[in-house]
Amino acid sequence: KGESRQDFGRLIAPLNAKYIVLFKSADYDTYGFLYKQNDLELVFEGKTIALFRNTHPTARAYLVNSVVPLKDLEEYLQVSEGQNTLEHLYVLDSNAKYDSKSFSSGGVLAQPSVTERSLVSLSIETPDKGYLVLTLPQHTVREGWEYQGKSPIFNLGMMPAFQVSQGSLSITLSPFYRLHAPLYALAVVSLALTALIYWRWR
């Protein structure tokens, strides 16, 4: 529905999309609607790419107290009309029930402090309780993140979110510790044994 929208930047703000790069390849004319958006600023255009800046605020992580169940992304276009899309957690499940009553009122409660301890572990300081929405870098998988052993809810079906308490918390990519780390350790031990055998029989 790009041709009928002029607020694309607002709609993608929950993805922490600060910039959009349009590569001028075979079908790039399909994305001509980007030039017509009121909330995208064209900051560079060359022969092969165009770069747009989203004028809406974005965040690596944010805390909300409101959950909006949706049946699909079409409904997202309708219910978010004219709203700050960082004020709610949008869940693609129209039958879902979530606890929003125990949180203080208001849209965005706060922006937590996020420290990337590694590619598979995040340390987060939350100034309030609520639903923590994380926006992950493009090189990071979205499946497998956990908080206190619990799997995430997905904001717009894309970004992990967790119901959290105030204070310090840790969110980890559990498959790394359960599967990948042991395999890496096994590979290192095997390599060391191979080197030792080679050295002894040389």
Instruction: Compare 202 and 62 and report the one with higher pLDDT.
Output: 62
pTM for this model (two decimals):
0.76
Place 143 in a pLDDT band, splitting at 50, 70 and 90: confident
Q: Contact at 8 Å (CB) between 81 and 66?
A: no
pLDDT at 84 over 80: yes
| Two tokens, residue 37 | 């958006």
pLDDT at 104 over 80: no
Lowest-confidence region among 8-12, 78-82, 165-169, 182-186: 182-186
How much is the CA Rg of the chain, to the nearest whole Å? 21
pLDDT at 179 over 60: no
* Cα dist from 114 to 43, 95, 124, 131, 169, whole Å: 28, 31, 5, 15, 10
